[in-house]
Amino acid sequence: MELKNDLYLRALRREATERTPVWLMRQAGRYLPEYRKVRAKAGDFMTLAGTPEMACEVTIQPLERFPLDAAIIFSDILTIPDAMGLGLHFVQGEGPRFAEPITDVAQIGQLPIPDAEDLQYVMDAISLTVKTLNGRVPLIGFAGSPWTLFTYMIENGGSKTFAKSKAMLYKNPEAAHQLLDKLAQSTVKYLIGQIQSGASAVQVFDSWGGALSPADFKTFSLRYMQQIVDGIKDAGYGDTPVVLFSKGANQSLTALSETGCHGLGVDWTINLDDALKLTGGQVALQGNLDPATLYAPDDHIDQAVKQVLDSYGNQPGHIFNLGHGMQPDMEPEKVALLVDAVKRHSQR
């Protein structure tokens, strides 16, 4: 389908653009009153994410409010562990939990490698959203990185120390690699299914990459993201841009840029000019405003946006985004201001 606005894809290919494209991580979510209405109607998160019509509706909601340059499908990174049979649910105020977390390495051998059809509700949500968008902007598909999924499956939720996950890496590296490999194989199938359903680009969220030392990052995270990039290419989908986002892993930006991905997400703890030096202009960079800036007065947001754009400079290959996701208590008016500032300050 012909896209009316392909700025995001052109920037990912590091082609010249008339201005910097912008979208935001968690742009579809709880800060929007219209999202909260649909969420209340759904009753719980998994019903919302698992009902294609509802997922489509909330994916498009932010575009009705703000002139964003991409939509990202409304889903969750933990769909793959759920499809492996772990039984995902969300506990109010605590986040994701599994009915069957990994507590014994013997479980790993029993885990299936799901096909895209095992996550058909995501594929249906993507194809319905692409049809509804009708070429307005590209739709981004996504998955969690194997290492990030691994931590949730072992810790049974989020963690500050990742003690159980790291204990497995060191005490039982063979089992750890077996699980990471299964997750990487599943993710390749999942992302190819998303591309076949109409996603114009895919992003891998390595939310906890920064919890690993640089050496362990290469062994237990980068290696499996490389497997995903290669798997998508080997299946004949190398033209579809892949973006890798490892939060807190700035020391590994050079290695990440050498995977063959099209773009890298960058968090807010590094300046984009330094990220550019580390990546040598091999990939597009996406980011990297501190999301907390959205709590600031209007003029501060305007200046902070300008600072990020100035830090990247005038060369092609920048997608404006936050360095992580939006928070539920952020005000939609501040997002409108941010998007407007990006457009004003980046006109070429």
HEC secondary structure over the chain: CCCCCCHHHHHHCCCCCCCCCECCCCCCCCCCHHHHHHHHHHCCHHHHHHCHHHHHHHHHHHHHHCCCCCEECCCCCCHHHHHHHHCEEEECCCEEEECCCCCCCHHHHHCCCCCHHHHHHHHHHHHHHHHHHCCCCCEEEEEECHHHHHHHHHHCCCCCCCHHHHHHHHHCHHHHHHHHHHHHHHHHHHHHHHHHCCCCEEEEEECCHHHCCHHHHHHHHHHHHHHHHHHHHHHHHCCCCEEEEECCCHHHHHHHHCCCCCEEECCCCCCHHHHHHHHCCCCEEEEEECHHHHHCCHHHHHHHHHHHHHHHCCCCCEEEEECCCCCCCCCHHHHHHHHHHHHHHHCC
In this structure, the strands spanning 284-289 and 139-144 are unpaired
Active-site positions read: 26, 30, 39, 76, 152
pLDDT of residue 29: 95
pLDDT of residue 94: 87
pLDDT band at 59 (very low <50, low <70, confident <90, very high): very high
Mean pLDDT of 330-342: 98
- Residue 26 pLDDT > 90: yes
> Annotated binding site for substrate: which residue ranges?
26-30, 76, 152, 207, 324
Say what percent of the chain tops pLDDT 90: 98
pLDDT of residue 323: 97
Give me the chain's average pLDDT, please: 97
Closest CA to 8 of 204, 130, 139, 198: 139
pTM reported for the whole predicted model? 0.98
**Any idea which fold 7-292+314-327 has?**
TIM Barrel (3.20.20)
pLDDT digits (tens, 9 = 90+) for 160-175: 999 999 999 999 999 9
- Residue 50 pLDDT > 90: yes
Mean pLDDT of 262-280: 98
